[in-house]
Structure 1
Amino acid sequence: MPTSLAFTKGHGTGNDFVVVADADGDLALTDDQVAALCDRHFGVGGDGLLRVVRSAALAEGQDAAAAGAEWFMDYRNADGSAAEMCGNGIRVYLHYLLKTGLADLDADGTIRIGTRNGVLTMTRSDLGYEVDLGAFRIERGDTLVRARGLEVARPGQGVNVGNPHVVVAVSSAAELERLDLTVIPILDPEPPAGANLEFVVPADPLVENGVGSIRMRVFERGVGETLSCGTGVAAAALAVREWAGRSAPDRWVVDVPGGRLGVRVQDGHVFLSGPATLVYSGTITLA
């Protein structure tokens, strides 16, 4: 039987999401239902869905609840598949919690949110909100990437920030713009769980006043090209930092089609900062 579902539309630098409140974990949205909600022609439209649910209400949220994270970000890609994390999504998630009064920051200005990549700590920042994405891993061994607009396959740098990424350097801003990401790029070898793909070009100069700067486009697994990808921004900055060597800075700004995000590295962790916006709320009939 069709039911009426309340939702809120939000975005972080153009990476947009359908936000659904389900505090007690009563909803059991199928992959097809999530895909229908995220469909830009027949649904609300979004790069993914954020289900706002208490950690204690989910079997996969029990560890988060025990660690003191009341809320769990159940993130689904636009095709309905579950994902480990979403850097832009978690800022929108926190913004929703704060704006609706479901949560507040602790006395020390922090809040802990459960995700499939563990419990993450968030604070306010000059750009909006900052999330500690935790420890990262620079993968060893190249992955060849073929994409429409690249004349030859390029080596990609694997970076794991809780979810898998492959970062590819392009030669110029013009080459970055020529990429046709309506066609799925090919990875060789294909990672078992797939990967998000970031194509980056350095600014000129790369480093100014101790801050590195790059531009990026992204193809997200299960979604396609998006205006922004928070974890992808972190991965891209980490890859360029790795390529730049020992003198590379720990602070970066990354320009994506949807805006600008900040990345910093401290004590082996990577932090992502940026804005979050709630656009409108409504109801939709869910088949």
Structure 2
Amino acid sequence: MNSSTTLKFTKMHGAGNDFVVLNNCAGQLDLTPSLIKRLADRHFGIGADQVLVVESSTLADFKYRIFNADGQEVQQCGNGARCFAQYVFDKGLTQKNQITVETLAGIIHPELIKHNWVKVNMGPAQFDPAKVPFVSEGLATRKVGGLTQYKLPVDSGADLDELWVGVASMGNPHVVVLLDQPASNALVQHLGATLESHPRFPARVNVGFLHVVDRSRVHLRVYERGVGETLACGTGACAAAVIGMKMGLIAEQVDVVKAGGTLTIEWSGQPESDVLMTGPAQTVFEGEFYI
């Protein structure tokens, strides 16, 4: 950290998933886990689901780092990627409408469609349990359409001792539970917390609760690792959509409705094809945080 006692920031959100965005292209910020937690704290800090950091890159136009509210760095955040693209354009860091961005999960390609509206090529989804990562050995399996589901033992306090789940990686790990009605608050909180730290997920996991309305529209709630339930989760929307598509339940383009807004997800269904996510990215306010 430089000698200043303040840290300039921008507060943004993508469909209600909110972020503190920092410019560290000069490489001068010392972002410790304790500082990240202070920034994200909703009572004593700015308040955010994640802290996003813009850095320079030798592999792409920019490097994108993501820290959960608990101070831990993670691989990917889809809603954050849209805000990242809007931020670098608004700040004059690029004049391009489409940029390449280095993440821990690989290179992504956000495109500014119009002001406050961004499409992101999230790359292909991964369903191999080892790449999630998910320890699947010894579990019962079944095929639903083209998806392998796993019978997972749970102790959730929600009158469940096992359930069938789908797993996928969008650069970060996701497990998706298919429901025949919208998820209740109790189910999201109890089962979400249980699955997030389930021993079958060595890196913890983001938990999606998916309700299919029809082939072009689904409802989703996500309990994010290190955060809890958020109003929107971009990678969670991608993971839930591709799992529903592989099961044959939804079309190649679907609107994923979350409490904070709607994201449109597109995927051809081919194993190596990229997942496209389109949705809002908005600045809320700017300020300085006292260190």
Pick the aligned partner of 2:239 from 212, 231, 235.
Answer: 235
Which residue among 154, 157, 165 is the counterpart of 1:156? 165
Amino acid at match of 2:124: A
**In structure 2, how many angstroms separate the alpha carbons of the residues matched to 1:44 and 1:230?**
22
Q: Distance in 2 between matches of 1:28 and 1:162?
A: 25
Partners of 1:147 and 1:130 lie apart in 2 by 36
Aligned pair 1:132/2:129, yes or no? no
Q: What is the TM-score when the length of structure 2 is the normalising length? A: 0.84
Identity of aligned residues (%): 33
Deviation at residue 124 of structure 1 after TM alignment: 2.8
* TM-score normalised to structure 1 length: 0.85
CA distance in 2, matches of 1:151, 1:47: 29
Give how far 1:125 is off: 3.6
| Corresponding residue of 1:269 | 274
Equivalent position to 1:280, from 276, 281, 285: 285
* 1:195 corresponds to: 205
For the 8 Å contact 1:113–1:119, the answer to whether it is kept is yes
1:118-129 equivalences in 2 (<5 Å): 118-125=106-113, 128-129=117-118
Matched residue type, 1:100 = K
Kept in 1: contact 2:255–2:264 (CA 8 A) = yes
8 Å Cα contact 1:170/1:176 also seen in 2? no
Deviations 1:230-249 (A, max 9, x none): 0000000111112227xx52
Question: Post-superposition shift, 1:196?
Answer: 0.4
Which residue pairs with 2:139 in the alignment?
A: none
Provide the alpha-carbon RMSD of the alignment: 2.1
Cα distance in structure 1, aligned partners of 2:107 and 2:160: 42
**More strand as a share of residues:** 1
Q: Structure 1's 51 and 250: CA in aligned 2 closer, same or farther, altered over 3 A?
A: same
- Asked if 1:83 is matched to 2:70, the reply is no
Gaps of 5+ in 1: 56-64
Q: Secondary structure at the match of 1:103?
A: coil
Does structure 2 retain, via aligned residues, the 8 Å contact 1:31–1:79? yes
Of residues 150-159 and 29-38 in structure 1, the stretch that sits farther from structure 2 once superposed is: 150-159
Query: Paired residue for 2:100?
Result: 112
Q: Which residue of 2 aligns with 1:179?
A: 187
Contact kept, 8 Å, 1:147 with 1:153, in 2: the verdict is: no
Q: Is the 8 A contact 2:198 2:204 kept in 1?
A: no
Regions of 4+ moved over 6 Å: none
Residues 85 and 112, structure 2, Cα contact 8 Å, conserved in 1? no
- Report the Cα distance in structure 2 between the residues aligned to 1:189 and 1:22, rounded to whole angstroms: 35
Q: 1:150–1:179: 8 Å Cα contact kept in structure 2?
A: no
